[in-house]
Chain A
Amino acid sequence: MTPTVSHTCARLSQLASPSDNVVMQTTAVTPDLAAHLLPSPNPVQLLDPTGTEVPQEGTRRPYLMPPPERLREVWRAMVIGRRFDIQATALTKQGRLAVYPSSRGQEACQVGATLSVTGNDWVFPTYRESMALVTRGIDPVEVLSLLRGDQHCGYDPKAHKTAPQCTPLSTQLIHAAGAAYGEKRRGTDNVALAFIGDGATSEGDFHEALNFAAVFEAPAIFFVQNNKYAISVPLSKQTKAPALAYKGIGYGVASEQVDGNDPAAVLAVMDVALEHCRAGHGPFLIEAHTYRLDAHTNADDASRYRSSDEVTAWLERDPIARVETWLKAHGALNDDLVSATHAEAETLASDLRDRMNVDPQADPMSLFDNVFEQRTPQLEDARRMVAAELAADAEMEDQS
């Protein structure tokens, strides 16, 4: 028996006009009904660059100033995170890392978003989220395994509920949507927090992820760090959207934009997003306006596409200084604690330096271990070949 044409032309038939018995459903969506999905017209900001509280006017939702203790914890993690980042960049210059994509300048996003979720929530990082992973409590050496090149992922993704750092852009957002939906099906209130950058919002998987998460009402937070450049290409060449946060409404995803260099605002917006997700209202899109102070990676030359004046202007919007000023003004931070925290950061950096100065051991025989649960006969053949090569090499060395 041969199939009918309608089987083989399934896709084409979708172009055909609907038959008479299909009721064309149109949901009248008035601007008011969709308005709750829209981001605020301007990025939410609770602290201005001088560390002064900003009166909240015109935001779509109410955003509350986090308590001083929480801001102090974020400040501490930012100080440590920045020191880690600087150390990692230094390790590239010493040849200890193959490459390092810095997130210096983006500390409020890396730390603020990460500290907002719990250990039961999932995190889906990109290669730029090393600071976020250290903030999450993952051993910095394990975090840097990918970039050192001894393993693709040095930490246990299940133990940390943290996916491997993702290099193909925006592909991990769909995984986040799936994991979030899985958590929902399991009856937990856990969410999936997925990071991406501004350039990756042009990738198709970004759109598929938002759409899937929305359709399945999956508790996923898509956190876009708009650091203004995708390597060298400015945002103006990526999109005509008024802001990336406006990309949510087309998928029915509630969205917000935030000053990504304001740790207080990042926490406040994350809190709203988390409440939205945990209450079963589906996914949430956040665009954090921030800036990558360093080049894309150590292999990049940022002076080819941006001016030093621009970088200087962003240095004045420093997330750490901003919250430090506020904390001191509110008696929540003193010089002793500042010194102690910087000392703590130095200890982490020197410990990292020491541990990264040890040559990592990568066992050639491990190549065959995790292709499948059980090695195929073909893998066994290749394994025997490599074992024989290694044995021959060892014999040569013994003789010499």
Chain B
Amino acid sequence: MSVTMSKALNQALRDSIRADDDVLVFGEDVGTLGGVFRITDGLTQEFGEQRCFDTPLAEAGIVGFALGMCLTGYKPVVEMQFDAFAYPAFEQITSHVAKMRNRTGGKVNLPMVIRIPYAGGIGGVEHHCDSSEGYYAHTAGLKVVTPSNSADAYSLLREAIADPDPVIFMEPKALYWSKQEVELPCKQEPFGKAAIRRPGKDATLVTYGPSVPTALKAAEAATEEGWDVEVVDLRTISPFDDETVVESVRRTGRCVVVSEAQGFAGVSGEVAARVTERCFHSLSAPVLRVSGLETPYPAPMLERTYLPGVDRILDAIARLQWDDTPDLTFAPSHGGAA
């Protein structure tokens, strides 16, 4: 059947609540309203306020409260309403949630999921569209997961809730209403496994979350130029699947990393570094990045320019030194879009 990502996430929450009495869902507006994106729609109605409930409007409070509940055996799944609204919880996440297992020598684990709707492409006004995955991926002790389709949304969220360690579950807002033919429940590849969404032999696009459909469109368009482009969807940023990425790039010899987050000091730079470290002798061109710009997330009307689009990805593929013509597109000192 045709299932939206939001429906798949909702079903994963439902099935997890049914499967385990200790799973609780809470956050801002997740109860009666069903969340501003309706991901928790109907949970309170079906399972009661004991299992899915609203909290005061305070993100540090929500995450810290969840941590305390873990100490008494609960498995909280909390919702941050938007990417940028999760920042008040940053200290709780980085100083406490990420470190608890480590600082207690494994005596205390936190089976907690922090769901964060993230990234752009929805015309959101200021502070509603940050790509914040890099902050979490940079923090040891957190798993960072981001689905790009309905089947993964269901399967990865079930796995996140069952995981004994904290998971930052990043949901691409722009894909909430994307549809896929899938029968739920379903079980996909586990954490730490990337997926080849489109096979190709000339170049590899490594991407994740909201950029996967864009990369697939670019790969399709690239066929008109005669390029057969592979698309790798990371699925989990941490743990990272070096194996799949490296195997692909060694095979194709060319790589472009695509992410909505800005390139500087971000996940895309990490991927580029890992590929270069592991595939240097297989590469026919430097690894390029197509990322969000190094500007604050723009007003909705400028989003189209900011976000990595099909054309910018195609331009990057074109610059993968298919012949000996020097690439003079950017001055050497330029650290910008690609």
Binding site for B on A (CB under 8 A): 1-3, 5, 7-12, 122, 151-153, 156-159, 163-164, 168, 171, 173-183, 185-186, 192, 204-205, 208-209, 211-212, 215-216, 369-373, 376-378
Where the two chains meet, the residues of B that have a C-beta atom closer than 8 Å to any C-beta of A are: 29, 36-37, 50, 55-56, 58, 60-61, 63-74, 81-82, 85, 88, 91-92, 95-96, 99-109, 122-125, 127-128, 140-141, 143, 164-165, 173, 176-177, 192, 238-243
- Name the residue of chain A whose CB is nearest to the CB of B96: A171
A-B contact pairs, 19 of them (CB 8 A): A3-B37, A3-B122, A7-B122, A9-B124, A9-B125, A11-B127, A158-B107, A171-B60, A174-B64, A179-B72, A205-B60, A208-B56, A208-B60, A212-B56, A371-B101, A371-B140, A371-B141, A373-B101, A377-B192
Is the beta-carbon distance between B177 and A11 smaller than 8 angstroms? Answer: no
| Min CB–CB distance B102 → chain A (angstroms) | 5
**Which residues of B sit under 8 angstroms from A122, Cβ to Cβ?**
71
| Other A-B pairs beyond A3-B123, A10-B81, A180-B68, 4, CB < 8 Å | A11-B81, A164-B108, A175-B71, A183-B72
Among A2, A7, A153, A163, which residue has its beta carbon within 8 angstroms of that of B71?
A163
Given the complex of chains A and B, what is the CA–CA distance between A373 and B63 in angstroms? 21
Cα separation A12 to B241 with both chains bound (whole Å): 39
Chain B hits for A179, CB < 8 A: 68-69, 71-72
Q: Are the CB atoms of A376 and B239 closer together than 8 Å? A: yes
> A152, B102: Cβ atoms under 8 Å?
yes
- List of B residues within 8 angstroms of A216 by Cβ: 65
Q: How far is the CB of B131 from chain A (nearest CB, A)?
A: 16
- Is A2 a contact of B122 with CB atoms below 8 Å? yes
Contacts of B56 in A (CB 8 A): 208, 211-212, 215
B239 contact from A180, A183, A204, A377, Cβ within 8 A: A377
Chain B residues with Cβ under 8 A from A9's Cβ?
Answer: 124-125, 128
Alpha-carbon distance between A11 and B125 when the two chains are bound, in angstroms: 10
Tell whether, in the assembled complex, residue A181 and residue B95 are in contact, meaning their CB atoms are under 8 Å apart.
no
Which residues of chain B are within 8 angstroms of A176 by Cβ–Cβ distance? Answer: 68
B74 nearest CB neighbor, chain A only: A182
- The answer to whether B95 and A171 touch across the interface, beta carbons within 8 angstroms, is yes
Residues from chain B with a CB closer than 8 A to the CB of A152 are 99, 102-104
Q: Which residue of A lies closest to B37 (CB)?
A: A7
Residue in B closest to A251 when the chains form the complex, CB atoms = B56
B165 near A208: Cβ-Cβ < 8 Å: no
Q: In the complex, what residue of chain B is closest to A154 when comparing beta carbons?
A: B105
Is B67 a contact of A174 with CB atoms below 8 Å?
Answer: yes
Q: Quick one: given A177-B68, A179-B71, A378-B239, are A10 and B101 in contact (CB under 8 Å)?
A: no
The distance in angstroms between the C-alpha atoms of A7 and B123, with both chains bound, is 10
Q: Which residues of B contact A153 (CB under 8 A)?
A: 103-105, 107
CB distance from B251 to the nearest CB of A (A): 20
Residues in B with CB closer than 8 Å to A178 are 64-71
B64: A residues at CB distance < 8 A: 171, 173-175, 177-178, 205, 208-209
Question: Smallest distance from the beta carbon of B108 to chain A beta carbons, Å?
Answer: 5
B61 close to A209 (CB less than 8 A):
yes
A5 to B67, CA, bound (A): 33
Give the residue of B66, B74, B143 whose beta carbon is less than 8 angstroms from that of A372.
Answer: B143
Question: In the complex where A2-B123, A174-B92 touch, is A192 in contact with B68 (Cβ < 8 A)?
Answer: yes
The one of A158, A174, A215, A376 in contact with B68, judged by C-beta atoms closer than 8 angstroms, is A174
Minimum Cβ distance to chain A for residue B267 (Å): 14
- Give Cα A5 to B55, complex, Å: 24
Given known contacts A192-B68, A370-B101, A371-B141, A208 and B108 CB-to-CB distance under 8 angstroms = no
| B122 contact set on A, CB distance < 8 A | 2-3, 7-8
Q: Is A370's CB under 8 angstroms from B106's CB?
A: yes
Question: Which residues of chain B have C-beta atoms less than 8 A from A5's C-beta?
Answer: 123
Residues of A within 8 A of B127 (CB): 11
Q: Is the CB of A370 within 8 A of B65?
A: no
Write the nearest CB–CB distance from A202 to chain B, whole angstroms.
Answer: 15
Given contacts A8-B125, A151-B105, A211-B56, whether A182 and B72 have CB atoms under 8 Å apart is: yes
B274 nearest CB neighbor, chain A only:
A378
Given the complex, which residues of B lie within 8 Å of A378, measured CB to CB? Answer: 238-240, 242
Residues of A within 8 A of B173 (CB): 3
| Complex Cα spacing A376 to B240, Å | 8
* Structural contact, A8 and B123, CB atoms closer than 8 A: yes
Per CB-CB distance, the 3 closest pairs between chain A and chain B, nearest first, are A178-B68, A182-B72, A174-B64
* A375 and chain B: residue at smallest CB distance: B239
Chain B: minimal CB distance from A21 (Å): 15
A151 vs B63: C-alpha distance in the bound complex, in angstroms? 25
In the assembled complex, the Cα of A209 lies from the Cα of B61 at a distance in Å of 6
Residues in A with CB closer than 8 Å to B66 are 178
